A and B are shown apart, each in its own frame.
Chain A
Amino acid sequence: MNKIAWLLQVVALLGAGLAAAQDPRQIMEEVQERAQAKSQRYEGTLQVIDRNGRTTEKRWEYDRLGSAGRSKAVLRFTAPAEVKGVALLVVNHPDRSSDQWMWTPALARDRRIALQDRSTRFFGTDFSFEDLEERDVDQFEFKLLGEEAIDGAACWRIESRPKQSKTSQYTRSVVWVRQDHYVFARLESYIADQVVRRLNYSQIENAQGIWSARRLEMTDLRRQSRTILRLEKLTYNLPLDEEAFTLQALRRLS
């Protein structure tokens, strides 16, 4: 192959790559692909700041087995003391909403969180139960809205709408995807035409080859309150046992 032909082929390949990158679905698939991990664990520190500036602190431990729509996660509060041991099991599905169960040690019983109850705030934070789901690209339709920089980083701005199979409190969401590492920089969720929640991702670092935000700030725009979640001791691909992600495991955690 001569040099010109080789150059033409490279240009053609680059062009195809760029065109693919402009396809919102492919961008989102790439985001999901790059975040793939066999498992994830972190300790979350949460600061809930209400509209008057009053701050409440909480902590949880988070374990996840698998990725995206084929994952299971257990989230267990470790502070404050009065909610220590409260746990949530999330079983994500590629084609539908997750199943969620909450375990309350004081009652010694689990409770399934019904779909229509997922818009409720999760234990006084600004995250709703639905926000704790892992979102799979197959559950949404995407539309590229343009490009915009967030914190100086170039981002694609993509609208996602839940398909029929996905029951969501949100009519649509707009996500900003960083062009350098294919990670979320911001997510705005709408009910009808009103933005109701804004999630900002920052302190984006490479952890074991996976670019991850270490600081998430969720703002509930209706309540004018926000929750800052810091991910500490973030680890990927550690050996986790499938048995730790069952209803029985929730009970054993107490």
Chain B
Amino acid sequence: MKLAAALFALTLPCALAQDFTQRGYLETRWIGYPETAPGDSGQDVGEARLVYEATYKVSPHLRFAGSLDLRTDTHRQAERVWRLDWQDRSIQEPAFSVRRLSAAYTHSGWTVEMGKQFLRWGKTDLLTPTDRFAPSDFLRVVDNDFLAVTAARVTYERGANTWDAVYVPRFTPSRAPLLNQRWVVLPENLPPDLALVEGGARLPGGPQLGVRWNHVGRQVEGALCFYEGFNHLPVLDAELTSLVPLRVEITRRYAKLRMYGGDGAVPLPWFTVKAETGYFTSSDPLADDYVQYVVQLERNVGEWFFVGGYGGETIITKRTPLDFAPDRGLARAFLGRAGYTIDANRSVAVETAVRQNGNGLWLKAEYSQAFGQHWRATASFAVIRGDLADFLGQYRRNSHGMLVLRYSF
């Protein structure tokens, strides 16, 4: 009996280990800005981040997934408060957070996933109008990172068709640049004694809902979707709170949003054409009604890959006086990405966004090299140019170089 117990004790961890997987990385970044910016004289930013992810398959049908995020930086974009954050609703990045924690049950084509999870919709890469359940961390605007949402997701897959229904009881906003940092661009003619004060965020209370039908045909892939909820990007309310001293409080507010969208992909002899569009409407008196669309071509040839296209927008009703909307900021622009794999360890890539009227340009070049099984170093430089009135151009003092060293495990 003792022998059996001992054998059981020895074999149990092995059995468990077969269904347990983990991975993660430790990453340090240095970002150098050649120019100072109004309100932020800092030109060097250091960041460190540890991400740990684990999945455990309890049975063939039930699986748990979790992820933890630990971060700090030199520029106080990450909180200095030591607390475990679950909601991802803070204005700063939490120092220690649950990035993901969900349980998924699968049976007969059905998958039900509950908890904090990453949820992506859409097919295009350059801009994804229908990706409504994917708020992001936009503290650095151009180097963003997706945030998970707390949701219940039911997916049914049968043959070539997949139906997806999502219910999000609690809103997760995108993280917008901090007022005292260089990625908030202030008008140049502001009175020198004006103090802009962070007024926090007014988060909506209702749920978000979405349904999507995706069909994978022999040659064509397409999806239709509907979303009812809130925009995860804020409308900014500016309120004069004091004349002497002159103070204006900036508050983030999240407008109601309804979207009817679709996406598709068609492989042609030379390129794959992907397109995605969304019609956005809102009952909010300060939110726009608009249509956004993207058409992109992509191709892999040998060691090269190319993705290029156009992001467009048509405003039906203009109501928003001031907002932070990088998704719309990249519309009305030609977008592209190209990469070359030098060998098994090295690659180079170039990304660009060029405003159709020439008023804004973003160009990023990157070289990446792996060392052994765990280390990777990446060096990049991003050039941003344009007019102050342009979404891209307003960041023209934020051209930067970046060095990233990552240890993956």
List residues of chain B with CB within 8 A of the CB of A30: none
Q: Is the CB of A80 closer than 8 A to any CB of chain B?
A: yes
- Render A45-56 as a binary contact track against B, CB cut-off 8 A, 1 for contact: 000101000101
Q: Is the CB of B106 closer than 8 A to any CB of chain A?
A: yes
- Given A50-B343, A117-B299, the answer on whether A243 and B25 have CB atoms closer than 8 Å is no
Q: Is the CB of B303 closer than 8 A to any CB of chain A?
A: yes
Q: Is the CB of B6 closer than 8 A to any CB of chain A?
A: no
The smallest beta-carbon distance between A245 and chain B, in angstroms, is 11
CB-based contact B344/A124 at 8 Å: yes
Q: Is the CB of B380 closer than 8 A to any CB of chain A?
A: no
In the bound complex, how far is the Cα of B373 from the Cα of A48, in angstroms? 12
CB-based contact B23/A248 at 8 Å: no
The smallest beta-carbon distance between A57 and chain B, in angstroms, is 7
In the bound complex, how far is the Cα of B119 from the Cα of A235, in angstroms? 35
Stretch at the interface among B35-43, B237-245, B262-270, B279-287: B262-270
The smallest beta-carbon distance between B114 and chain A, in angstroms, is 14
CB-based contact A252/B409 at 8 Å: no
CB-based contact B106/A85 at 8 Å: no
The smallest beta-carbon distance between B285 and chain A, in angstroms, is 34
The listed residue (B146, B374, B409) touching A108 by CB distance below 8 A is B146
Q: Which residues of B68-107 are within 8 A (CB) of A?
A: 104, 106-107
Q: Is the CB of A18 closer than 8 A to any CB of chain B?
A: no
Q: Is the CB of A114 closer than 8 A to any CB of chain B?
A: yes
- Given A80-B370, A80-B373, the answer on whether A121 and B345 have CB atoms closer than 8 Å is no
Q: Is the CB of B408 closer than 8 A to any CB of chain A?
A: yes
Q: Is the CB of B63 closer than 8 A to any CB of chain A?
A: yes
Q: Is the CB of B120 closer than 8 A to any CB of chain A?
A: yes
Q: Is the CB of B356 closer than 8 A to any CB of chain A?
A: no
- Given A56-B345, A82-B376, the answer on whether A248 and B155 have CB atoms closer than 8 Å is yes
In the bound complex, how far is the Cα of B21 from the Cα of A124, in angstroms? 23
The smallest beta-carbon distance between B252 and chain A, in angstroms, is 25
Q: Which residues of A112-146 are within 8 A (CB) of B?
A: 112, 114-117, 119-121, 124-125
- Render A215-254 as a binary contact track against B, CB cut-off 8 A, 1 for contact: 0000000000100000000000000010100111100101
Q: Is the CB of A109 closer than 8 A to any CB of chain B?
A: yes
CB-based contact B341/A121 at 8 Å: yes
List residues of chain A with CB within 8 A of the CB of B23: 81, 84-85
CB-based contact B118/A108 at 8 Å: yes
In the bound complex, how far is the Cα of B271 from the Cα of A99, in angstroms? 16
The smallest beta-carbon distance between B201 and chain A, in angstroms, is 25
Q: Is the CB of B181 closer than 8 A to any CB of chain A?
A: no
CB-based contact B370/A121 at 8 Å: no
List residues of chain A with CB within 8 A of the CB of B104: 252
In the bound complex, how far is the Cα of B60 from the Cα of A247, in angstroms? 16
CB-based contact A248/B111 at 8 Å: yes
CB-based contact B265/A247 at 8 Å: no
CB-based contact B111/A124 at 8 Å: no
- Given A79-B373, A81-B374, A248-B106, the answer on whether A48 and B300 have CB atoms closer than 8 Å is no
The smallest beta-carbon distance between A130 and chain B, in angstroms, is 12
The listed residue (A50, A84, A116, A246) touching B267 by CB distance below 8 A is A116
List residues of chain A with CB within 8 A of the CB of B399: none
Interface size on A, residues (CB 8 A): 34
- Given A124-B344, A252-B63, the answer on whether A112 and B265 have CB atoms closer than 8 Å is yes
CB-CB nearest in chain B for A50: B343
In the bound complex, how far is the Cα of B343 from the Cα of A249, in angstroms? 31
CB-based contact A82/B408 at 8 Å: yes
The listed residue (A79, A109, A248) touching B162 by CB distance below 8 A is A248
CB-based contact A241/B409 at 8 Å: no
Q: Is the CB of B140 closer than 8 A to any CB of chain A?
A: no
Q: Is the CB of B109 closer than 8 A to any CB of chain A?
A: yes
CB-CB nearest in chain A for B57: A252
List residues of chain A with CB within 8 A of the CB of B157: 246-248
CB-based contact A109/B120 at 8 Å: yes
Q: Is the CB of B221 closer than 8 A to any CB of chain A?
A: yes
In the bound complex, how far is the Cα of B218 from the Cα of A112, in angstroms? 11
Q: Is the CB of A8 closer than 8 A to any CB of chain B?
A: no
The smallest beta-carbon distance between B132 and chain A, in angstroms, is 14
List residues of chain A with CB within 8 A of the CB of B300: 116-117, 119-120
Q: Is the CB of B272 closer than 8 A to any CB of chain A?
A: yes
CB-based contact A81/B409 at 8 Å: yes
The smallest beta-carbon distance between A76 and chain B, in angstroms, is 10
List residues of chain A with CB within 8 A of the CB of B370: 56, 80, 82
- Given A80-B408, A252-B104, the answer on whether A56 and B344 have CB atoms closer than 8 Å is yes
In the bound complex, how far is the Cα of B108 from the Cα of A246, in angstroms? 12
Q: Is the CB of B191 closer than 8 A to any CB of chain A?
A: no
CB-based contact A252/B106 at 8 Å: yes
CB-based contact A124/B267 at 8 Å: no
The smallest beta-carbon distance between B14 and chain A, in angstroms, is 14
Q: Is the CB of B406 closer than 8 A to any CB of chain A?
A: yes
List residues of chain A with CB within 8 A of the CB of B265: 112
CB-based contact B302/A120 at 8 Å: yes
List residues of chain B with CB within 8 A of the CB of A125: 344
Q: Is the CB of B216 closer than 8 A to any CB of chain A?
A: yes
The listed residue (B109, B162, B221, B271) touching A243 by CB distance below 8 A is B109
Q: Which residues of A49-106 are within 8 A (CB) of B?
A: 50, 54, 56-57, 79-82, 84-85, 99
Binding site for A on B (CB under 8 A): 21, 23, 25, 55, 60, 63, 65, 104, 106-109, 111, 118-120, 146, 155, 157, 162, 216, 221, 265, 267, 269-272, 298-303, 305, 341, 343-345, 370, 373-374, 376, 406, 408-409
- Add 14 more A-B contacts to A112-B216, A248-B109 (CB < 8 A): A80-B370, A99-B216, A108-B120, A108-B146, A114-B272, A115-B267, A116-B271, A119-B301, A120-B302, A121-B341, A125-B344, A246-B157, A248-B111, A254-B65
Binding site for B on A (CB under 8 A): 48, 50, 54, 56-57, 79-82, 84-85, 99, 107-109, 112, 114-117, 119-121, 124-125, 225, 241, 243, 246-249, 252, 254
Top 9 A-B pairs, shortest CB-CB distance: A81-B408, A114-B267, A124-B344, A117-B300, A82-B408, A120-B300, A56-B344, A108-B118, A114-B272
